Amino acid sequence: MKMAVESHSHQQKPHAAEPLDHSTSLELRFTPQPPGRENLARLAGFNLDRPAHVDRLTDLLSNLPDWQRLARPRGVYRLLKVATLEAHRLKLEDNATYRGAIGQFLAHVQWVAPFVVTIGSALERLARRRMQAGKLLEGTVIDALASELVENAADQLQQRVREWAHDRDLEITPRYSPGYCGLDMSSQMTLFQQIDAARINVHLTGSHLMLPIKSVSGLIGIGPADRVSPEGYPCSRCSHPDCMMRRAPSELPEQ
Ligand code: SF4
């Protein structure tokens, strides 16, 4: 499998177009972005309406280690044409097949971008060491910071795919990750067979979890702008019992 590498940050104007060689995986390296304070507070369990929480969080953040040096956000993805798309089955041009409601969630897409992003393991190891040393709050904030940074890396990769789509008058769907949104956890196997995640040092465990833990994988659909939407989360048609990212109540009948 061939691999192209490029750097990308919010400050840089991305290249106008990807090569249309579908065997090529693209590797991106991102600039770590400052964490969103509200998300960080939510992830670490702080209430920004309470002055004591604000002061404590401010104090912890001002004493954080050099997270820009410890985080190494990077990602890899491919752009693949859809071969066949049914309500519960998606087959791509390389014969990779995903089963489940993802077929329904990706209705109308013509291309799919499987991807993996990571920030590496340094921050999660630091968080663990702090917790083992009894500094639970500090470890929790560092862990939340790492979660925020990897989501930001996924946002940046998604933006790269969006620009590729817009260059062709197409639009993207939200990103869908194994374990959520109609994708069984076992679909990680399919995804990792499609792209060379080892290139960015991300590996699967036997239970389909990723190492480093602060990694995100998934699929982004690309299709006609009048048929797909990046905000088009299918939560009202999803019965996931405890999804933390639910954006609308389920309208499905209770089972
Ligand atoms: S509730 Fe929404 S975000 Fe969560 S798994 Fe279902 S579709 Fe995905």
Which pLDDT band, with edges at 50, 70 and 90, does 13 fall under?
very low
> How would you classify the pairing of strands 111-118 and 74-77?
antiparallel
List the helix and strand counts (H, then E) for the chain. 7, 11
- For the cut 80, the answer to whether the pLDDT of residue 25 exceeds it is no
| Closest C-alpha residue for ligand 1 atom 8 | 181
Mean pLDDT of all residues in 167-176? 94
Backbone angles phi, psi at 89, to 5 degrees: -160, 125
Residue 80: Cβ within 10 Å count: 20
Output the CA 177–ligand 1 centroid distance in Å: 10
Q: What is the pLDDT of residue 19?
A: 47
As beta bridge partners, residue 43 has none
Burial 189-225 (b: 16+ CB within 10 A, else e): ebbbebbbbeebebebeeebebebbbbbbbbbbbbee
Mean pLDDT of all residues in 196-225? 95
- For the cut 50, the answer to whether the pLDDT of residue 1 exceeds it is no
Residue 139: Cβ within 10 Å count: 19
Q: Which atom of ligand 1 is nearest to the CA of 244?
A: 4
Q: What is the pLDDT of residue 3?
A: 45
Output the CA 65–ligand 1 centroid distance in Å: 34
- The residues, ordered by sequence, that sit 6+ positions from 164 with a Cβ below 8 Å of its Cβ are 17, 18, 79, 222
Q: What is the pLDDT of residue 108?
A: 94
Q: Show the DSSP H helices in the chain as ranges.
A: 37-44, 51-62, 67-70, 102-105, 122-132, 136-166, 187-194
Tell which one of 105, 173, 177, 181 to mutate to probe ligand 1, the residue whose CB is within 8 A of the most ligand atoms: 181
Amino acid letter, residue 234 = P
Q: What is the pLDDT of residue 133?
A: 95
Which pLDDT band, with edges at 50, 70 and 90, does 12 fall under?
very low
- For the cut 60, the answer to whether the pLDDT of residue 39 exceeds it is yes
| Closest C-alpha residue for ligand 1 atom 2 | 235
> How would you classify the pairing of strands 2-8 and 89-92?
unpaired
- Cα separation, 213 vs 147, whole angstroms: 9
Q: What is the pLDDT of residue 76?
A: 95
- For the cut 60, the answer to whether the pLDDT of residue 15 exceeds it is no
Paired tokens of 224? 């006609």
Q: Indicate the Cα dihedral angle 18, 5, 180, 72, nearest 10°.
A: -140
- The residues, ordered by sequence, that sit 6+ positions from 88 with a Cβ below 8 Å of its Cβ are 99, 100, 101, 103, 104
Output the CA 224–ligand 1 centroid distance in Å: 22
Give the residues surrounding ligand 1 with Cβ less than 6 Å away.
Answer: 180-181, 233-235, 238, 240, 243, 245-247
- Cα separation, 88 vs 126, whole angstroms: 41
Which pLDDT band, with edges at 50, 70 and 90, does 17 fall under?
very low
101-122 pLDDT, tens digit each:
888 889 999 999 999 999 999 9
- Cα separation, 22 vs 112, whole angstroms: 11
What does pTM read for this prediction? 0.85
46-86 pLDDT, tens digit each:
888 888 888 888 888 888 878 889 999 999 999 999 999 99
- For the cut 50, the answer to whether the pLDDT of residue 162 exceeds it is yes
119-150 pLDDT, tens digit each:
999 999 999 999 999 999 999 999 999 999 99
Distances 144 to 39, 135, 150, 208, 222 between C-alpha atoms, Å: 8, 14, 10, 22, 30
212-255 pLDDT, tens digit each:
999 999 999 999 999 998 877 778 777 777 887 787 788 777 65
- For the cut 80, the answer to whether the pLDDT of residue 182 exceeds it is no
83-98 pLDDT, tens digit each:
999 988 999 999 999 9
- For the cut 90, the answer to whether the pLDDT of residue 165 exceeds it is yes
Handedness of CA 172, 118, 187, 114 (dihedral sign): positive
Length of the chain, please? 255
Output the CA 169–ligand 1 centroid distance in Å: 27
